[in-house]
Amino acid sequence: MFSRRSFSPLTLAVHLSVLLIVVLWTLPTAGLLISSLRDKDQIAVSGWWTALSTSTQNLQGRTDLPDTQIERDGRFVLEGRLIAQGAPERVTMFGASSLDPTAFTAGETGQLRNGNLLTVNADGTYEVSSQAPFEGRRGVRIFYTIEAPPRFTLENYASVLTAEGLSQSFVNSLTVAIPATIIPILIAAFAAYALSWMKFPGRAILIACVVGLLVVPLQMSLIPLLRIYNDVGAFFGLPAKTYLGIWLAHTGFGLPLAIYLLRNYIAGLPKEIIESARVDGASDFEIFVKIILPLSFPALASFAIFQFLWVWNDLLVAIVFLGAQDDQLVLTGRLVNLLGSRGGNWEILTASAFVSIIVPLIVFFALQRYLVRGLLAGSVKGG
């Protein structure tokens, strides 16, 4: 038997709000996936929500050249096809002027202003006849409207996945993202434990500095950090563009949030466990490794999701610290170059976007059960 409270208006409003948020966040991804599987011509003329319905396209073409004309019943005739034989598209309307491209219905014979006769059938075959021979270097222009059934294809993904250098860029992104996620987690975990359970002068000031660093814009500190790195690298004779540089950059940009999240979580752990371990003679390092790290896995997983998503989707820091050479270009940079070389075609855009989010989606769904626990831990009680 259900309680009256479970059917209260407030509970219903909360459930509906959550459902609305889920739908609003899911629809763009669903639309991106559907568009990436559609035919490129249909993407250009209709939205993804019409993917299962017949689409209409207004096209134009020309007949064969005048030198292919034949004489039949005292008239000169040009014959041919506007669409490929056996194609699923069907012509519905046609015309010979851009001012009235739907003047005639498919299968009808229309008389043009110059006295010529034009017929376009539903299967795309056409016939143009004239009393005088056709002249000129181009055929007669025909405007026509076709109806195309829904068509799904993997050609968009084939174009992206077979692009030159894509596999190398994928490996480069993994080489950047994995260490740039693990390194700040390790450093932040040690710092969070020290700021939570170790007593030393200036601890409150360090916590305040960490919170203050959360609001520092990346763009403001990017160039100074690059200059410092180049000066230090020149002093030790290190190359200017290396993976070490981008690992350190992402570590520096990710540490404030990592320390803040982990410190809130670790400070909320039961004090009795820490004190019992110290009574048994455990050192701070043993407490950290054997007690703190296993208990802090939800918080570690939460930050790992944020950091990995940020590093994987990053382009600015990668270009600044790693460069844009073909052998060092990350996946986001490669896809941007691919879009530029293809003129920003929609089919390449949608397929590229979905290819780039596959790995982040895998990481998110693998760790999402720890996300809320890690973010909410310590929000009520802190050390």
User: Domain boundary at 97, 114, 148, which?
Assistant: 148
33-60 residue pLDDT tens:
898 898 887 887 788 888 888 888 888 8
182 is a domain residue: yes
Asked if residue 382 is part of any domain, the answer here is no
Is 286 found in the same domain as 179?
yes
Phi-psi category of 160—alpha, beta or left, where left has phi over 0 and alpha has psi -120 to 50? Answer: alpha
- pTM, two decimal places: 0.71
- Answer whether residue 102 shows pLDDT above 60: yes
Residues 101 and 226 in one domain: no
Q: What is the pLDDT of residues 134-169, one digit of tens each?
A: 888 788 899 999 998 988 988 888 888 887 788 888
Are 348 and 214 in a shared domain?
Answer: yes
Number of domains, the chain = 2
Same domain, 276 and 178: yes
Question: Higher-confidence residue: 114 or 93?
Answer: 93
Task: Tell me: do 319 and 366 sit in the same domain.
Answer: yes
